[in-house]
Every structure is written in structure tokens, then in C-alpha cells.
Structure 1
Amino acid sequence: MQRVLTTITLLLLATTTAFSQGNTGGKKIKITGKIIEKGTDLPLEYATVVFQDAKNPEKLSGSVTDMDGNFNFEVTTGTYNVRFEYISFKTVEIKTRTLTTDTDFGAVYLEADVSQLKGVELVAEKSTVEIKLDKRIYNVGKDMTVKGGTISDVLDNVPSVTVDPEGNIALRGNENVKILIDGKPSGLAGINIADALKLLPADSVDKVEVITNPSARYDAEGGGGIINIVLKKGKTNGVNGSIVLTAGDPENYMANASINKKTENFNLFSNFGYNYRNSPGNSSTDSRYLNDDNSTKSYSEERRKNHRQNEGYNANFGIDWSLTKSLTWTNSVTFAESNGKNPDDVYLTYYDADHNYDYTKNRFNDGISDNFRIEYATNFTKDFKKEGHKLTVDMAFSQNREDDSSTITDQNLDGTPYLLYERTLNNNSQNRNLFQTDYVLPIGENGRFEAGYRGSFQNNLTDFVIESEDNGSWVRNDLYSNLLEYKEKINALYMQYGNKFKKFSYFLGVRFEDSNIDVNSITSNDYNKKKYNNFFPSATLGYEFSESSSMSLSYSKRINRPRGRFLNPFSSYSSNINIFQGNPDLNPSYTNVFDLGYLKRWNKVTVNTSAYVNLTDDSFQFVRRESGNFVDDVPVIVSTPINLAKEYRAGFEFNVNYNPFKWWRLNSNFNLFRNETKGEFSYVDYQNNPVVQNLDNVATTWFTRLSSKVTLPYKIDWQTNIMYRAPQTTAQGKRLSMTSVNLAFSKDVLKDKGTLSLNVSDLFNSRKRRMDTYLPGSVDSYSEFQWRQRQINFSFTYRFNMKKEKDQQRRDDGGGDGEFMG
């Protein structure tokens, strides 16, 4: 309690023009340093530095740390008792320190105060969600509900982020989001990032950073913002790591090991993983086909079951090598390989206009996949004499191969008998090279100048072939087969400058990107060259009302380039009457993003609110239409993306961290937004009739997420995550609501070196995408899609740390119960 009172006292003192000065009559000197969590080397934000006059203990001065753990303030010369404090951490204390000149205390290490916790009190740890004004940080290691899961499961628990049943990622409801790995685009994510993230293990992730309005330093892509996935890398001296074993139902077997060895000159790190998953899913679509006057023509019912079976391996090897005290060279190699099966069983039942039974078809798609990804990355970091003065150089080279094939059997179960055999081949390859350099120069006391270059070059080739059996021979179906080549060359330059004057701060920047893109549909002899260059300005203004209250106003311009299935005319043939078709002539969309944020901290509560507006030109929208082709007199419906004229998105977001007791933590996120699209879709139907669809639409919806973590008796942790997504109207129908609940329990064993975890994903089996679609004169349908059924996992984690005895002794000799390194 005394620490809490001291912290509150210092926060109140900080709102005045100066702290109370303990020693009077002396000259002012500057006090600097940094407070770090022992064992993780992570900075402690809002830790407290207390200077107590040795002669007059009632007189206090001091400060609190910023988001990077740094403190910087002035005192008068004199003799002080110095304390470095953080709630639920051991205090580091220095008695009767006489200060006559500017003093840098260097790094001060604080460790968790486990000994003071009794009964069911929660052992001190970093919050699962850290809320900062410009971003939110989600610490994966503290989330039990994703044990034995994938990175896609991790993202689905991150505030402001949603992952739909197909794995598509959205930030604040906007799917135009850029995914980074360790701060840069990564070849490890593969060709289809949604599929890749469902294969990589959750236990390889350290934290996830959500940046809703990035500065010019970041890639300009992603109108909705940036999600940065930070992979684990050992930071503690000696040999240390962890092993995670998981078994689940439906079948889910995983093993993941992270091992590193760190000395003063190098850090060897590695991560190995194996997984086998069986993820059963299902879908259903009930359709009423319409005549031109919207009267009923016929009905159909589609029922689908699939069992996605996947076996995969992944490994990462790397070394941080300190060539000199100021120059570090990092090299790493990462690869992932997986093989999968996806038997897809579809039953189609047809009815006439009076809903009298007609006949049933069975379509069985026996799919297999073979994927391989490898990336080599190297980094040079040069630290100059002045703190924060830094130059980094990054290079990464990756190759990806994703080969999918399937054999399709299509037959009537009654009525006119026939048997049709088809097969598909979908071979994808990608080569990607990345070159990047960043330079940071501190100017004056608070100024900072940054500049850099990024070159991203990739070449993708997708060969999609459909063949039908004809008298024992396979005949190519040219209607749905295509060879697509995608080449991308993007060169970018940026610079930005920021400074702070008392309580006011600003950061201004501009980024220039030159894009040279070729989209070549070779089979159809359709060649599209997209060459353009753009300036992307950004600006952030901030004001600190106090150390615990601040506000920011930011602006940035963003771009969203179409890729992958958005461009490929044909990439799927699971259903022959409902087909997705890409558009190789899609243009990029541009978004102007405005964000007004406010952050307030109390002793037990942190609140972050944000009001935002996104104005997008040429936004991507999906439309459905009749293709003109028929299967057994049933029209084939095609879904395809197009560029619409305008999209207006405005919303309000509310994030709260609340720790009512040491044994109970709550994190919540609420996002309300309004999305308005203006545009129309014009085409000529298969009867040569011009058709104009007015796609103007206004939709208001919201989603919320609540995470509760409770420590029960016997130190059993109980975590519950609840997510609800409200209904939303679309230009051609309505997306219905969705609710999901995840539950987990864990218990530390083996003197806290091991952890047993039990988690249930989608407890009530309710995570389904439900859609109503209405196309006048065409079709009225209702569909449900469940990517993966309820999953139950049991995991065992074992942590080991073999520090050298002399290193441990050096760390423990810093003073008090923590660690101080001057």
C-alpha cells in the first residue's frame, strides 16, 4: 500500500510546475536512467523513482518512467535516499547517495515480488494487454486460451482485431490490414497469409502490436492499419528456453521447443515445432432461385462437411553477434513445411417451384496440399555514442511453394444417373526479396529525425487447372483454368521528424512509394501493367495533461494493393454452382485515416478511447451475379471483387484494463462503426442485357470482446474470453451476428518450472459465419459456414534456465532485492 501511495503522490506532484525539492540552496542537476523488468529485459512504463532527502525524510522529489522505461528529471545537489519502485515488484534502494553533478543511473532491474503474495493473490506479471496511446501490445505468453493453437487463434484474441471463420483478418472491422512479422513483411507468411497464419504455432509468438494509424516509417500498405507479430527470441543470459506439448480433440498434437544461449558477445536462438491437426468444419446454403419478376423458379439445399487434416514442421535458427560494443550482426533462417488433406463432401438437393423433391447430387472433393516456406534474414545494427542514435540494415530472401490438388467425383444419387470425374491442380510459387535501412538521429533534448529506404520485390506464379475425365483421358477445362503471373517491385523512401515542448509533442513525416506491378493472365492473354507512385504523409500531435493522462490527433494516407485470390480469375472449384472469381484488373484503393485518441491511467484502471474516420477511394467490394453458365439447369453464381467509388468508415473504440484485485484481471474492447459505400456495378448479362446494380449501402455494427483472468485457490488460473459481433447489412444482403466463448485453466507445477493448461476453443460451438443474400431476379439465399468445430486442448509447458553462477551473482549484487547496474 505504501508503494501505491508513493506512486499516487508522485503523479500528483508531476502535474505541478516542479517536484518539491529535498535539498535547498544547491544547483540543479539532471538525473537519468532506465527501469527494466528482470528476466525479460522489457521496459517498465510508469515505474517510480523516489528521491528522499537524507536529512529531512518528509521532503520528496522524483519522477515516473515513460513508455520506454526511461526517466529524466532535475533535482538540486545534495544527499538522498533513492528508491526505484513498481507495483508488485521488489524495490531497489540506494542509501545516502551524495549527488553533485549530472548523474546517469543506467539500467535498474526490478523483479517480481513473489514472496509478499499470499493465498490466492496473483503473482506479479506484465499485463496480457498493454494499452499505449499509439498502439496496443498483446503479450501472448500470458494467454492460456491459445495454448496448442495457431497464430490465427492468437490474433482472434487481440483487441480491435477480428478473424472470421475463413481466417480473414480485420482491424476495427476493416480487412485492409497489413501483417508484419518482426516489424517487416515476411516471406514466412507465404502467398496466402490467412492460410499461413493457421499453420504456424501460437507458442512461437512473443507479442502482437496493433498500430491503427502508422507513421511514415511503416509500409504505407493497409488502409485499416498494421498488425506486427513479434516472434520469440531469448533475452536472458545462459541457456534457457521452454518446451510445450499439446494433445487435443478433435485430433490435435503439437510439440514446440524454444531454446537460446546468451552470453555477453552473442545470443543463439532457435524454435522448433511439429503439429498434426484434424479440423472438421461444415457449411450449408439454402437458396431460392427467382424469375425476372422475383417469383420462385426452384430451390436447392447445399450441405457440406470437410476434415482439414494437416501435418507440419517449422524451425528457426539464429544468432545475434556483437561484433563490437556498438555493432550487432543478426542472422536467421526460418522454414516451415506442411502436408494436408481436405476431403470435402457436398450434398446438393433440388426442389421445384412448389418445393417438391426433385433429385440429390453428391459432390466429393478429395483435396491434398503440400506447402514449403524458407526465409533467410540478416540485420546490422550500429549504435552511436549518443543514446538513440542508430543505423539498421535489413535484408531478407524467401521462397514459398504451395501446391494443392484434388480429385472430384460428381454423381446423381437418384433420378437420371450419371458419374462425373474431375480434378484440379493449383500450384503456387513465390520468390521475395526485401532490402531495408533505417536511420535515427536524436536532435537536442527531445528531437528525433528518422529516414530510411525499403525495397520489396516479389514474383508469384499461380497455375490453376481443371480437367474432366472423358473415356479414360483427362481433358482440360479451359473455362475455369488459368496461369497467372504476378510481379511486384516497390521502392520506398521516408523521413520524419518529431519533438516535444513541455507537454506538447509532434511527429511529422512523408513517405514516397514507387510501384511497378504486372498482373498477367497468360492463359486468357490478358496483360495488366500497373505503374504508379505516391506520396504518403503522416502527422501525429500529442498533449500530456499529466503523467497519467494524454491525448493525440493523428493522420496518415494509406494504400491497399490487391493480391492473391483477389486477382486470380480462377482459384477454387469446391462448388460448381457457387464460384469465387478474382479480378486481374483491380486497382489499388487509397485511404485517408484520421484518429483522435485519449489515454487515462488510474491505480487499477487504464482507459484508451479513440474516434476514427477512414475515407477510401476505389474500395474493394464483392458482388454476386449470374455467370450465364448452368449445371443441370441450375445457374452458376459468381462472386467477384470490384473497385467501388467511395467508402466512408467512422467509428468509436473503447479499451479498458481493470485489475479490481490482485487475483482478478479484466481486459475489454468495444468497437462501434458505421460503414457507407457509394457506387454502382454495371455489366452485360449472358442474354446481352445491360444490368446496373446500385450498391449504395449504409451499415452500422459493433463488436466487443471481454477477457477475464482469475486466480483460484491453489494458484489455479482461470481465463475466459468472450466475443460478440453484431449483425451488419451489406449491399446484397445481411451478415448475421456471431458469438464465441473460449475457456482455459492452468496450474504451475514442478516449482513453477512447469505449467499444465486445459483450454476449450469455441465452447458452445457457435463460431459460424451466417449470411442472408438477396439478388432480385436471381437468388435469395441463407448460408452458414463453420471453419472449425469446438476444440479442446491439453498442454504441458516446461521452462528451464541454466544461468552461469557468476552471472547470477552479478545480477543479485545490485542492491536491495532487485538489480541495479550503473
Structure 2
Amino acid sequence: MRHFLILLFAAISLNLQAQRPQGPGEKSITLTGTVLDQDTGRPLEYATLVLQKVGEPSNVTGGITDIDGKFNVTTEPGRYNIRVEYISYLPYTLDNQLLRQSRDLGEIRMAINAQELDAVEVVGERTTVEVRLDKKIYNIGKDLTNSGATISDALNNVPSVTVDVEGAISLRGNENVRILINGKPSALAGFGSTEALQQLPADAIERVEVITSPSARYDAEGTAGILNIVLRKEKTLGFNGSVNTYIGVPVNSGITANGNIRTDAFNLFSTLGYRYRDAPGNGYFDNSYTSGSFDRIIEDRDINRLNRGLNWNIGMEYFLNDQSSLTGSFFYRLGNDDDQTDNNTTRFVGSEIDSRTLRQELESEDDRSYQWSLNYTNNFNDDGHKLTADVQIGRDREDVATVIEERTTFPQDGLVALENVAQEENSNEYLIQADYVLPMGESQFEAGFRFDLEEEITSFRLDSLDRASGQFVVNELLTNTFTYNEDVYAAYTQYGSKIGKFSFLLGLRLENTRLRGELESEFDPTALEEELGVDVDVNFDKNYLGLFPTVNLIYEIGENENISLGYNRRINRPRGWFINPFPSRDSRTNVFQGNPDLNPAFSNTFDLGYLKRWDKLTFNTSVYYQRETDSFERIQESTGQTTTDGIDIIRSIPINLSTNQRYGGEASILFNPSRKFRINSSFNIFRFVNEGFFNGVDYGAENTSWFARLGSKVTLPAAIEWQTNAFYFGPRQNAITDTKGIFSLNLAFSKDIIEDNGTITLNVNDFFNSRKRRSFTETEFFTSDSEFQWRQRSVTFSFIYRFNEQKKRNAGRGGNGNFDDDGEFEGGSGS
């Protein structure tokens, strides 16, 4: 901390000296102008103006542009070479200019440095990644394989990100990732869950920001980093929009409409979509036991999920005056799912079949999410002096009704168990935040606060059939209501500047986390205390106060080359289902149980990156190291209990098991040799080392794994575009489970029709039907050889029609340089 404050003080001192006013008698002139993108007219923020005195190469002054692309530089009269620079753009030069008095250079329009492309292709086919000080921005909307896909599908095509067969999202192989929507926690992301992302359409996304070294502006949640999903909001004047319809096999159909009306007084935008999707899957588990009534049990699962969803987002930005605006938006999501899982089980004693059973689960789930957002923005001047304030209220309710019937089918037919499960989960969120930005010449100061209050109330009731009386009886020990509150109060400040070719962003965030749990049940926690070996308080109130420093540095070696270094400290807070002490009812023999004694985990991460861009090739790489303490691990152990028919019950429970160290490196290459061919690839290798004991068992593990992507886009005859995305995740293991590698291949073909206002696309997801998780688990009491497939291969045909909207969108193109759309200091480069 001492070194951090010294560096911050030194940077501020240098900046104040650079802004020293002219003394008495000193003559000065002012040079003004505006730097814009040549094609779109969009202001280029933080473009650099360099004034080099003719005949005195070491006499260099200059400045940078503000949020509106304007610069205002004071210097002494003389003859100068004037140069405006912005990474990814061709420089603008005016040589040997005699400046005797103040001068307005007017509008300076800069062009992308891509001479082989014409203007339309520059906009539409610009590199899909922009590299900033603390993040990479991927404009995934142009990915053909996303047509008819969900947000989860789209994320699986983003470098550094993986989505497993069950929808769990990882960043660099680490699942402790924070999901934000438009920079904030959101009901769209299910308050920390990823289920909603498997329902929402991918074409609602404008871009995805992969933030592996978050600045202090972002909340400290997520030890792996942050994925910020930015939804579409057109900024073009007039009316524009699009309608996208699709149909596929297995059944996958839907329609999404986007509309936007913008005038000088307001901007009205809306997205409305409906989805109907069948997601068949399957699973196979071959389990062997060292104790219990059976030596081997084989489970063969057939899974069918029918998902129906409606989502609607509407909002309006009203321009109060030239400096300020007020934006209000409302989001609504309605889901109605019907799932059926048939589990055929064969039980062996020795090598002989003892019995067969069929367990059938019929689950009906109704989801309703609401979110109201209000944003106020005030641009005090044209120099980027800015204040934003946000209020957000979210509601989410899930009602799940499940009927579980298990019966023997061999040697005779008979009822084993019949249960009715009713579960209701209500989530409420209140968010208030404000951010203040103060430019100071080539530097910028920021400060802000955020209050994020979340509450999850889960009610669970289990009714079991009493075969003696033929009546359903409430299981009082498992029936419960669990209320979990997570309140986070945070304040931050950060300072960024650019000194020559060196940019830095230093920040400090203070967060207080309060975790509260309250249980209403006949449940006796004594048994859980004995199993965990600690005192368990199911009614708890915990507070954690922490400082989270961030450091992001970048040095521009050349116009198209830079190196970056980032450091951050982060927290991983347990979610409600990790805390709830009641076992799941997904299986009688394999249950998941939360741990109310779970505490947050903390991590420190370092990231060193390098970027080099040539005319047709972009290379980006980084190495990273992370050390996490009290990391969550899900262990499996025998409960010591058996079912009524003599099967050992295995439990999975999360604990603060270990210290986790993770080393890794990643690299990506984008090659665009011509307008008709484009190839991109990425490779990530990581190694983790876990150290921890529980109940006398060593769960320490070391493992090295990797994943890679290869994508290509080719223009065929008749202007047909062909895109291929291949992905492979290598084998990996932890203390008890070995998982085999997974390969998948997606193909897509598209063609523009109706004078390029329409596009038809054929998309094949998982062409070889190989996206399956195969794993082997071994403990002292059982082994399990399993294969699981969440969804089988699918084929989708889609048609999109655009109204007054270019096919080659400029969404997310940016050119924002050192400040993003929210005025955040970036200091990086596009590529």
C-alpha cells in the first residue's frame, strides 16, 4: 500500500507540473480541433496530438482529445510538425506549420489502417478484438454461428471463455467468474446464476468484454475476472431495426425484433423475443462400490427439456439539454419449462443382475424476472468532466414443481418411492451507484460508490407417499425456508494518465460484505456439525471489510506494439445454493448439500500481456499467475447412510478446502489476408495446484490442462459466407476425478438477399455430436465412470431482415482509445 500511494502521489505531481500555467510575460497560443472517425464521424477519445518544433526534435509538446474528440493545447509560437495519432488508425500529419497565433484545425478525420479493405468492409469486418488496459472487447455479433443461438452459446465462441456441457461458465479455466449485464449485476444473468443466459438470444448482444484485470471501478466479485455482456442499443438517428426468425432440429424456433427511434430530443429502443426450444440430452454412469448391498450400479439417463421463453426490453434516453440526459429502461423475462428425466438403473451383486429400477422426474418450472433501471448522465463540459448516477431494482421468482417416482421393473414391478417436491425461490436486488470523472490534462481522476443489496428466499417442501396409509406425508425435517442476504457497500477511487508512451491506471476499492442467513425448519444442524467437524450456525451474520487495489500499466513500444501489466485483488462470495444446508432431491443416492459455514475466498492475480499488430496479422498474448486462499472445493464423501433398498448415499458438499495456485498463458492470432478470407485462433494453457485436507483426507491435486479455438471465415462463389469454429478442451483432473478432452465443431453458411437488407443462415452446432463430458471418479468407497451430454447436435435455419440498418454494423467498434463509453480510462489499443 505504501508503494501504491507513493506512485500515485508522484504521478499526480508530474501531471500538475505538466499543466503549469504560463508565467507573466510568457506568450502563448492555443491550438484547438476535433478528431473524428473518417467513416462514422464518431469522436475518437484520447487521440494524441503531438507538436514537434522544427529544428528542435527534442522540443515536443501536445495533448489528448476528450470524450467528444476535442483537444485544446497551449504552446508558444513557432514552426511545428503537427501529428495526430491513434492506435489502429493512420496518423494525420501537417508538417512545417508556422503558428504565430491561436488556430482552430477544425475536424480531423482519421481512417482505419487497413488499406486492403473498402469502407464498408472496414466497418463490418474490423478485427473482433479491441485490447484495453484492463480488458479485451469482442464484437461477437458478427459471428454467423450465433444465429439462432443463446447467449451461453455465443460466450462459448469467445477466447479465454469456456461453457461446459451443463452451462457453467469459466474464464481461463476458472469458474469463479462474475457475470455483468451492461456493467452491472442484473436479473438477466439470474443474480449470479447462468440459467437465464441459456434462454436469452445471442443476437441481443452488441459485445462481450473479457475483463481479466478489472479496474477499481468494477466490483471485486469473481476471482477469475469479469464477463460484461453489453446489449444492443442503436445510436443512429431516425428509425432502424431488425427482425430475426429461426427454426431448427431438434426443435429450436423463435423470433427476435429490435427497434430504435432516435431524434434530437430522445432515443427510444426496444427488443422483444420469443423462444421455443427442445434440448434432448443423455447420461451414463457406471458406479462400483466397496460397501453396501450392491457391488455395481449402472444408471442410463434420458433427458428431455422443453424451454419456452419471452423476453422484452424497452427503454428511452431523454436529452435534458446539451450536457445531460436521463435514461429509463424496463426488462421482463418469462420462462416456462417442462423437463423429464428417465433414469434406468441396473444393480449387480457380484456379476449377476439383482434388480432394475426406473426413476422418473417430471419437473415444471415457471420463471418471472423484472428489472427497472434509471440512469442520469451529466457532462459538465466538453473535456470529459462527467457525473453518472444509476438506480436499479430487480425481481426474480422461480416456482418449481417436481414429481419423482421410482419403481422396480425387475425381478418384479413395484413402487419404491413417490415424492412431490415444491420449491419457490424469490430474488430481490437493489443497486445504487454513482461515478464521477474529472479529466486533468492528459490524466483522469475517478471516484464513485455502489450499494448492492441482494436477497434470496428459498422455500422447499417435500411430500413423500406413506405406502401404509396411501397418503402423502410432509417431511418436516427437510421442509424449510432459507433466507440469504448479501449486502455489499463499496467506494473506489482511481487515477490514470499517459506520459509519453507509458499509460497507467491505479485504483483502490473498499468493500464491506455482509452475509446473513436465516432458517425456518425443524432441521437439526447437529448432524451436519458432526460431519463437517465444526460448529455450524445456520442463522448467521458475517461481515468482511476489505481493500482491493488494482494496477494496470501499458507501454507502447511502437505504433502497433505494446506490453501491459496488471495486478488486482478480488473476492469470491458463496452464492445461496452453496450456503443452503438442505440436500437436493435430484437423486436418492447422489445428493448435493450446501454449507452454511462457507466463507468468501480471496485472490491476488498478476497478468503480463503483449500485443503486436501488422497490416494483416494481429498477435496478442499474456501470462498470468493467481493465488487464491480459502478456495471453494466440492468434495464427495459417503454420508454413512443407505437408502431403504441398501444403496450407499454419496454426498457432494462445498468447503473452504484449500489454497489454490494457478499459472497460465494464452495467445491469440488474427489473420486477415484478404476480404474473402479470415482466420483467428487462440490457445490457453494453465496449471493449478491445490493444497488442502478434510476429515483426514488429502484433497491436494496438481494438473495441467489447455483449450484451443480455431475459426475461419471464407467468402465462396455467389457471395456465400462460410464460417467454421472448432474448439477443444484438453484432459484435466482434480483430486478424485479425471475428465477427458472434449472436441466440438460448429459450421455456418450465410447469404445476403433482398438488396442486402436480408440474410439467410444455416447453422450446424456440434457437427460431430461430440460435445460430451467423459470422466472417471475414484474415492476409497466408490468409483464412477460417466458420460454426460447436455444437448445433442442441432441444425438451425434463420432469416434476418433489417430496416434502415446497415448489415455491416459499427457496434462496439469504438476507437475509444483511453476512455470508454462510460468515460473510463483505458490507455490501450484496438486491433
TM-score of the superposed pair, with normalisation by structure 1: 0.85
Matched, 1:641 2:647: no
Give 1:111-510 correspondences, 5 Å limit: 124-191=124-191, 193-291=193-291, 298-353=295-350, 355-419=351-415, 420-443=417-440, 445-470=441-466, 471-478=469-476, 480-510=478-508
The 8 Å contact of residues 63 and 442 in structure 2, kept in 1 or not, is answered as: no
User: Structure 1 CA distance, aligned partners of 2:707 and 2:302?
Assistant: 28
The 8 Å contact of residues 121 and 711 in structure 1, kept in 2 or not, is answered as: no
| TM-aligned CA distance change 1:86 to 1:633, over 3 Å | closer
- For 1:569, give the aligned amino acid: P
User: Structure 1 CA distance, aligned partners of 2:299 and 2:43?
Assistant: 53
Tell me what 1:704 maps to: 708
2:795 alignment partner, one of 773, 789, 792: 792
Tell me what 1:680 maps to: 693
1:626 alignment partner, one of 629, 634, 638: 638
CA offsets 1:399-438 (integer angstroms, 9 cap, x no match): 1001111111110001254213212112100111000000
Give 1:779-818 correspondences, 5 Å limit: 779-801=782-804
User: Structure 1 CA distance, aligned partners of 2:676 and 2:326?
Assistant: 42
- For 1:283, give the aligned amino acid: G
User: Structure 1 CA distance, aligned partners of 2:774 and 2:800?
Assistant: 37
Tell me what 1:659 maps to: 672
User: Structure 2 CA distance, aligned partners of 1:337 and 1:792?
Assistant: 25
**How many residues are treated as equivalent by the alignment?**
753
Tell me what 2:588 maps to: 576
SS at match of 1:324: coil
| TM-aligned CA distance change 1:501 to 1:718, over 3 Å | same
User: Structure 2 CA distance, aligned partners of 1:32 and 1:616?
Assistant: 49
User: Structure 1 CA distance, aligned partners of 2:571 and 2:593?
Assistant: 23
The 8 Å contact of residues 242 and 805 in structure 2, kept in 1 or not, is answered as: no
SS at match of 1:216: coil
Tell me what 2:13 maps to: none
What is the CA-CA distance between 1:756 and the residue it aligns to?
0.6
Tell me what 2:56 maps to: none
2:756 alignment partner, one of 752, 758, 761: 752
- For 1:329, give the aligned amino acid: L
What is the CA-CA distance between 1:775 and the residue it aligns to?
0.4
SS at match of 1:565: helix
Tell me what 1:3 maps to: none
Tell me what 1:55 maps to: none
User: Structure 2 CA distance, aligned partners of 1:116 and 1:494?
Assistant: 43
Deviates more, 1:650-659 or 1:250-259: 650-659
CA offsets 1:43-73 (integer angstroms, 9 cap, x no match): 5999x9999xxxxxxxxx9999999896979
| TM-aligned CA distance change 1:373 to 1:321, over 3 Å | same
What is the CA-CA distance between 1:201 and the residue it aligns to?
1.1
What is the CA-CA distance between 1:191 and the residue it aligns to?
4.2
CA offsets 1:343-384 (integer angstroms, 9 cap, x no match): 11111111112x211111000101110000000000000101
User: Structure 2 CA distance, aligned partners of 1:37 and 1:403?
Assistant: 53
The 8 Å contact of residues 591 and 651 in structure 2, kept in 1 or not, is answered as: yes
User: Structure 2 CA distance, aligned partners of 1:695 and 1:238?
Assistant: 61
The 8 Å contact of residues 122 and 663 in structure 1, kept in 2 or not, is answered as: no
Tell me what 2:37 maps to: 36
CA offsets 1:519-561 (integer angstroms, 9 cap, x no match): 2232237212221211111112222211211112211110000
User: Structure 1 CA distance, aligned partners of 2:464 and 2:512?
Assistant: 44
Matched, 1:670 2:692: no
- For 1:770, give the aligned amino acid: R
| TM-aligned CA distance change 1:289 to 1:78, over 3 Å | same
What is the CA-CA distance between 1:779 and the residue it aligns to?
0.4
User: Structure 2 CA distance, aligned partners of 1:70 and 1:720?
Assistant: 38
Give 1:546-585 correspondences, 5 Å limit: 546-570=558-582, 572-585=584-597
| TM-aligned CA distance change 1:40 to 1:191, over 3 Å | farther
What is the CA-CA distance between 1:42 and the residue it aligns to?
8.4
| TM-aligned CA distance change 1:459 to 1:134, over 3 Å | closer
The 8 Å contact of residues 133 and 598 in structure 1, kept in 2 or not, is answered as: no
| TM-aligned CA distance change 1:244 to 1:654, over 3 Å | same
- For 1:628, give the aligned amino acid: G
The 8 Å contact of residues 632 and 658 in structure 2, kept in 1 or not, is answered as: no
Tell me what 1:586 maps to: 598
Deviates more, 1:725-734 or 1:626-635: 626-635
SS at match of 2:280: strand
| TM-aligned CA distance change 1:643 to 1:50, over 3 Å | closer
The 8 Å contact of residues 420 and 464 in structure 2, kept in 1 or not, is answered as: yes
The 8 Å contact of residues 482 and 569 in structure 1, kept in 2 or not, is answered as: no
Tell me what 2:610 maps to: 598
The 8 Å contact of residues 571 and 603 in structure 2, kept in 1 or not, is answered as: yes
User: Structure 1 CA distance, aligned partners of 2:302 and 2:414?
Assistant: 22
1:717 alignment partner, one of 718, 721, 731: 721
SS at match of 2:279: strand
Matched, 1:511 2:509: yes
User: Structure 2 CA distance, aligned partners of 1:564 and 1:484?
Assistant: 9
Question: What RMSD, in angstroms, separates the aligned Cα atoms of the two structures?
Answer: 3.5
What is the CA-CA distance between 1:134 and the residue it aligns to?
2.9
Percent identity between the aligned chains? 41
SS at match of 2:153: helix
| TM-aligned CA distance change 1:352 to 1:733, over 3 Å | same
What is the CA-CA distance between 1:496 and the residue it aligns to?
1.0
> Runs of 5+ in structure 1 lacking a partner?
1-25, 52-60, 683-691, 804-822
The 8 Å contact of residues 133 and 608 in structure 1, kept in 2 or not, is answered as: no
| TM-aligned CA distance change 1:190 to 1:367, over 3 Å | same
CA offsets 1:229-268 (integer angstroms, 9 cap, x no match): 0001011100001110010111011100110100112100
- For 2:789, give the aligned amino acid: Q
User: Structure 1 CA distance, aligned partners of 2:623 and 2:142?
Assistant: 29
Deviates more, 1:492-501 or 1:390-399: 492-501
| TM-aligned CA distance change 1:50 to 1:256, over 3 Å | farther
- For 2:148, give the aligned amino acid: G
Deviates more, 1:649-658 or 1:276-285: 649-658
Tell me what 1:695 maps to: 699
SS at match of 2:410: coil
| TM-aligned CA distance change 1:111 to 1:542, over 3 Å | closer
User: Structure 1 CA distance, aligned partners of 2:598 and 2:588?
Assistant: 24
User: Structure 1 CA distance, aligned partners of 2:122 and 2:323?
Assistant: 40
TM-score of the superposed pair, with normalisation by structure 2: 0.84
